[in-house]
Structure 1
Amino acid sequence: MQQDKHPDYHPVVFRDRAAGYAFLTRSTATSDQTIEWDDGETYPVVDVEISSESHPFYTGKARTVDTEGRIARFERRYGEGMRQGSD
């Protein structure tokens, strides 16, 4: 394997400010700030705005706003008789 071809890949703590959650992983991200982790070691910490702990999709709090309503839009576009089917 050729040397000096790959970026520096090291342990980093990502801290989600919105959820108050932090996790240790390996990354190429760097930071001047450090944090002491549960194992007693000091790691660089990167603050993020959102992670899987606070993202609405992963927390189950995702909402879709349907201001007009699909059925009402269908009836207006194609008429109410189309929805009942043809007998």
Structure 2
Amino acid sequence: MKDGIHPNYRDVCFVDLSNGFKFVTRSCAQTRETTTMEDGRELPLFKLETTSETHPFYTGTQKSVDSLGGRVEKFRNKFARISIKK
């Protein structure tokens, strides 16, 4: 392997701002803040808006935007009264 081409991976604490969920993983994300973990380690802190703990897809609370029928069905209902004359 070549020297100097790989990023500097280190343990980073990611925190979900909506519910406070924290997880630690290796990352090369640049951070300005640090946090102290329960075990006493001081790690760089990276703040996130959404994680798998709060994202609707992963929590099962995702709503179907197309709940009253698909686009094709809406089109057919809209133009059902117009008949094609031969």
Q: When the two structures are superposed, what TM-score results if normalisation uses the length of structure 2? A: 0.77
The separation in 2 between residues aligned to 1:38 and 1:68, in whole angstroms, is 48
Query: Unaligned regions of 5+ residues in structure 1, if any?
Result: 80-87
Question: Stretches of 4+ moved more than 4 A in 1?
Answer: none
Amino acid at match of 1:41: R
CA RMSD of aligned residues (A): 2.3
Amino acid at match of 2:77: R
More helix by percentage:
1
Query: Unaligned regions of 5+ residues in structure 2, if any?
Result: 81-86
Amino acid at match of 1:76: N
**1:25-84 alpha-carbon deviations (Å, 9 max, x no partner):** 1001021100001221100000000010010000010001226424x927638x6xxxxx
Aligned residues: 78
